[in-house]
Amino acid sequence: MHFVIIARDARVAREKRPQVRPAHLAYFTPLYNEGIVVFAGPLTDGAGSLIVVKADSLSDAWQLMVRDPYVAHGIFEDIEIHPFTRTFPPED
């Protein structure tokens, strides 16, 4: 099952992000390699990030986020996670 995660930045995000980004990417890279993180990136208006993941449950999707260094270091202050049905393109 897919989940869309909208992670909104805290006011300190711009200041803290450069120092925490290597740990954030080190956390997400193996998840991407395992097919858990489908894609992720910053919203270009500076509001935060969009992350799409595959997880067995909403609880599992939350567990992925609470372990993210951006959460632990207060870069993301508000997180929404929504179940998502991928219809296009169809999965292989």
pLDDT at residue 46 in the model: 84
- Longest CA span, the chain: 41
End-to-end CA distance of the chain: 14
Give the 3-state secondary structure of residue 41: strand
pLDDT at residue 91 in the model: 77
Domains of the chain: 2-84 (3.30.70.1060)
pLDDT interval class at 55 (50, 70, 90): very high
pLDDT at residue 50 in the model: 97
Average pLDDT score over residue span 8-20: 94
pLDDT at residue 90 in the model: 85
pLDDT in tens, 31-40: 999 999 999 9
pLDDT at residue 26 in the model: 98
Instruction: Please answer whether residues 21 and 68 qualify as being in contact, where contact means their C-beta atoms are separated by less than 8 angstroms.
Output: no
- State both tokens at 35: 């097919």
In the predicted structure, residue 25 carries a pLDDT above the cut 90 = yes
Enclosing H/E stretch for 68: none
Quote the pTM value: 0.91
